[in-house]
Amino acid sequence: MDVTGEDFHRLLPSLLEAIADAQFVAIDLEFSGISNQQKSRSRAPKQYAGGKASLQDRYEEERSAAEKYQVLQIGITCVGESLNR
């Protein structure tokens, strides 16, 4: 479903219901710029255990980008389980 600023308030109840009913929700943000993740990942041995970012580390990187750049678009994927296979 495509949601614009014009129909956001009308579709909000359906969006909230889909999120509440989902077993898994993925969120994708499109920013007005690109952060230099290579720079922050160059600290991998010290900052990230095993060279991989934790969920908290990724959150902080995305938060930093959101503070630096404007969020242009948000994508939300709601995944449910089908019991009728």
- pLDDT tens-digit map of 32-78: 887 665 554 454 444 566 677 788 888 888 788 778 888 889 999 99
Contacts of 77 (CB under 8 A, 6+ apart): 25, 26, 27, 28
Cα dihedral 18→19→23→27 (10° resolution): 120
In whole angstroms, what is the distance from residue 80 CA to residue 6 CA? 27
Conformation bin of residue 51: beta by default, left when phi > 0, alpha when psi is -120 to 50: left
pTM of the model: 0.61
Under 8 Å CB-to-CB from 72, ≥6 apart: which residues? 30, 31, 32
pLDDT-derived band at 8 (thresholds 50, 70, 90) equals very high
